[in-house]
Amino acid sequence: MSEQSKVMHRGQIVASLILGAFVALLAQTLLNVALPHMMLDLNVSTNTIQWLANGYLLTNGILIPLSAFLVERFSTRKLFLSAVGLFAIGTIVCAVAPHFNILLTGRIIQAIGAGILMPLMMVVFLTIFPVEERGKAMGMMGLAMIFAPAIGPTLSGWVIEHYTWRVLFYIVLPLSIISFIFGFFSMKNVTETGKPKLDLFGVILSTLGFGGLLYGFSDAGNDGWGSKAVIATLVIGGIALIGFVWREIVVDKPILDMRVFQFSMFSLTSFINAIITMALYSGMILLPIYLQTLRGFTPLESGLLLLPGAILMGIMSPITGIIFDKVGARWLAVVGLLITVLTTFEFSRLTLETTYFHIILMYTARMFGMSMLMMPIQTAGINQLPRRLNSHGSAMSQTIRNVAGALGTALLVTVMTQQARARGADLVRAAKIDPSDAANAAQMQDITSLATVHGINYSFEVATWMTVAALILAFFIRRVAPADEARIESANRSSRDRNQPAFSK
């Protein structure tokens, strides 16, 4: 095959994956603004409707650790078409669902497809691009991973203001069908397959561990850390996760290979990305609360405010990738985190009079800083892994990001709520008023608004210190070459021999 033909085939594969990932990630955030309207239309409670988001997150969290096994077991083309096909079927089920249970079933089917697709995309990119071109490749991946979730709220806000929530799925459906058809003709097999044995006990522990933690962290944001359900799921998830880690260390064929943490740069960048993900959620979660609850902006106006930052982040992703290939991740991360620290701190100084333009400016600058972080830092770590661990490194990175996102949401919402409650009580005592007296209703409304702003500002202060910690760690990022597989295997073999009894040698 000629070099030109190889490049053309690679371009088709990349286009297929980016389109599929864009659709999957768009669907993940598209419902967030629509949930209150869906709750009324379907006649269900707030806790029930949240399962459309939590169920999607949980299914992703359960499927992603399994993705390394699936990539090794099935061909690239078969896995891609199965993932996109399942996603399209789930979208159809959601669009025509007569009641909530069918709608939730459709969302779970969607999430199964997305949970396979995202790690597959990273493994394929790592396979078809040499190390010196991976920054550019990951930058293109960032178009889908950053741009799609960012425009979701804006699109959703516009649809909900003018049409029924079912239109959201009718928008996603043709995109998913186009992705399937394009992939049918363009996707090629690029990964090696075998017949690895599935560790069923490991799957059970993984499901309970990651599922329990993701559900517990997500529910803590709604019901608080004192909820019996939150405590129970976190305890079960924590115990199961410890058992899962132990199982994956001792079993011959792990579904998620913990040996990826033997590589110092992968471990460091995974930790930094977890912190950045938690800080990123401060803007995604807290700003809409501020804009809609306190300032009275419509969902569409809130979405439009976030849109310039999303567009800039999408434009910057490929550019950042090219810079990464030339200079590495360290200085991109340092500059990006400096911008993120300053803009996150600026959001900790919000008032009820902060102008719409100032918020747009700060959020857009924050997204500019974020565009230099996620993919370059993750690529710097995965570049150290030997090729055989690419699928496990990809699955581990995705899993850590999901858990960090859920934990960040729960932590920041809890901090906001507790600080708002405490400040509200202080303001009531200072004003010497009776909150139950109807005559004080207007004053109580003002106190509630001031207390909520304080809670949001305090959460942004916590997020600022998170980004400061990530900034310090970023100075330790360095360029590394993929590890020598022969040397690693020799060291592992020697380690196993030392741990065996003498008569077995």
Task: Provide the CATH number for the domain around residue 45.
Answer: 1.20.1250.20
Q: Report the distance separating Cα 84 and Cα 90, nearest Å.
A: 10
Q: Are residues 180 and 286 in the same domain?
A: no
pLDDT value at residue 280: 79
CA dihedral 332, 137, 108, 205 (to 10 degrees): -70
Instruction: Burial-class residue 42 by CB neighbours within 10 Å (0-12, 13-18, 19+).
Output: middle
pLDDT value at residue 464: 93
Q: Are residues 35 and 100 in the same domain?
A: yes
pLDDT value at residue 489: 53
147 secondary structure, DSSP code: I
Q: Are residues 382 and 472 in the same domain?
A: yes
Q: What is the pTM of this model?
A: 0.77
Q: Are residues 288 and 436 in the same domain?
A: yes
Q: Are residues 464 and 363 in the same domain?
A: yes
pLDDT value at residue 47: 65
Quote the domain boundaries for residue 168: 1-196
pLDDT tens across 477-497, in order? Answer: 988 776 655 455 554 555 445
Question: Total domain count for the chain?
Answer: 3
Instruction: Burial-class residue 263 by CB neighbours within 10 Å (0-12, 13-18, 19+).
Output: buried
191 secondary structure, DSSP code: S
Q: Are residues 321 and 234 in the same domain?
A: no
Q: Are residues 425 and 462 in the same domain?
A: yes
Q: Are residues 28 and 176 in the same domain?
A: yes
Q: Which of 94, 81, 85 is nearest to 28 (CA)?
A: 94
pLDDT value at residue 500: 46
pLDDT value at residue 6: 53
Q: Which of 86, 109, 106 is nearest to 38 (CA)?
A: 106
> φ, ψ for residue 45 (rounded to 5)?
-80, 170
The string of DSSP letters for 103-128 reads HHHHHHHHHHHHHHHHHHHHHHHHHH
Q: What parts of the chain have a pLDDT lower than 50?
A: 1-2, 4-5, 486, 491, 495-496, 498-505
Q: Report the distance separating Cα 315 and Cα 448, nearest Å.
A: 39
